[in-house]
Amino acid sequence: MKIKKPELLAPAGDLERLKWAIEYGADAVYIGGPSLGLRANAKNFTFEEIMEGCKYAHERGKRVHVTVNIVLHNVEIDQVKDYLIRLEACGVDAIIVSDPTIIQMAKENTHLEIHLSTQQSTLNIEACRFWEKQGVKRIVLGREARKEEIKEIIQNTNLEIECFIHGAMCASMSGRCVLSNFLTARDANRGGCSQICRWDFDLYNNQLQPIKGEREFTFCSKDLSMLKYLPDMIDLGITSFKIEGRMRSIYYIATVVDIYRKVIDDYCNHPETYQYNIAYEQILRNCANRDSVPQFFGGENDSTCGYYNGREEVSNQDFLGVVLNYNTETKYATIEQRNYFKIGDVVEIFGPQLHTITYHVKEILDEQGNSISVVRHPRQIVQMKIEEMVYPNNLIRIKKD
C-alpha cells in the first residue's frame, strides 16, 4: 500500500542553493524576492534570478514559492501591485503572505496561488476558515500547533496545510517578537531580527538582586526536528513539510533535504515495514550547531525544549568536500575541499543517486598528481581513488560513530 506523499519544501537563499535543494530531493523551494519579505539579511533573489530559478524548477517538475510576508506600512502599498505582477511573469507558483492587503491585491491583479505565512500564527480552526474565505489556498500553521489541532483543521476545512518539520524556532509566537526592535532597532516583523533570545542575560529576582548560576541566563529555543514523528504527520494528511533555513549553507540544505526525502519515501512506499532509522537522527544533529527536539507537536513542550543556562554553538566542520567529477576508467574522483581532512580519515560520501558510501582515505593526489597527506587549503582541488562510482555534486562528510 502506498500513501500520498506530502510535498517536501526546502529553503533557498540564492540560486545555487535552489538548485542544490532540488537536486537533493525537494519537491518545492521557497525563496525571497527583491523586497517585501522577512529575511532582510539574506542575499535574496533578483527578478532575473527568480525567472531562472522557476525555469530550472519547472523543467524538473518542481515548484517555487516566494515570500511576500512583510507587515506593510503605507509607504510600501504602492509597490505591491507591480511587484506581484512581476512575480507572476517570472513563473512563480505561489506567494507566502501575512498582510491582508497583499492577499486582496494578489486576487485582484494576478492568478498567483496564495499561501498564508506562519507569521499570522494561525492555530485554530475558525481562523483557518476565515482565511479560507479570503481566498487563501494553503496555511502555514504556527509552529506551536499540536497534533490534535492539526488533525481537526485538516478534517474540517478544504485548505492545504503546511507545517514546519525542521529548523530554528522563535522564542515568541512564530516571529511576533518585538525585543529585537526594542533593543537594536531591527524589526523582526520586517525581516531584521537580531535574535535577542540567543543573547546572554543577567538574571534578577523580584528584589532586583542578581541571581548567579553556573552560566549566564538565556531563553532561546532549541531547534525543531520532527524526524521521529514524520509517519504521524503523513498519516494526518498534511500537504507540505517545510524546512526552515534560507540563510543556511548548501551542506546543511543538502543534508537535511536528503534525510527527510529518504524518510518520506521509505514510509510512504512501504508503511507496513517502515522502521525508524536512528542513524538519520545523528546525521541531522551533526550538521547543525544546536540541539533539536519535537517542540509542540506531541503536547510535551517544557523546559527541555529551550536553553536557559547557556549553550555552545560550535562551528560545524563535518563538511569536507564536493565531488566535481568521476573518471569511470581510473576510478579517481576529483574533489573540491571545504574543510581540512587527511590520510587515515574515515569519511562518508552521499547524494541523491547513491546509497551512502563509507570510505577510508588512503591516498590523496593534488592537481599535479603528487601524493599529499593533508588537504588544508580552502577549495583545494584533489583526487582520490574511490572504487564505487560517485557523481558530481555528491558531498563528503566526516564519519562519526
Please determine, for residue 159, whether its predicted confidence score (pLDDT) is greater than 70: yes
Q: Is 291 left (phi over 0), alpha (psi -120 to 50) or beta?
A: beta
- Model's pTM, two decimal places? 0.91
- Contact of 124 with 149, CB cutoff 8 Å: yes
Least confident of 77-81, 111-115, 129-133, 235-239: 77-81
Q: Of the ranges 79-93, 204-218, 348-362, which one carries the lowest mean pLDDT score? A: 204-218
Angle, helix 147-156 to helix 125-133, in steps of 10 degrees: 40
Nearest-angstrom CA–CA distance, 330 and 384: 10
Q: What is the pLDDT of residue 316?
A: 65
- In this model, does residue 303 exceed pLDDT 80? no
pLDDT at 396: 97
What is the chain's Cα-based Rg? 23
- Report which of residues 368 and 3 the model is more confident about: 368
On whether the CB atoms of residues 168 and 245 are closer than 8 A, the answer is yes
Cα separation, 227 vs 88, in Å, equals 34
Q: What is the pLDDT of residues 355-395, one digit of tens each?
A: 899 999 999 999 999 999 999 999 999 999 999 999 999 99
Question: Which pLDDT band holds residue 336 (cuts at 50, 70, 90)?
Answer: very high
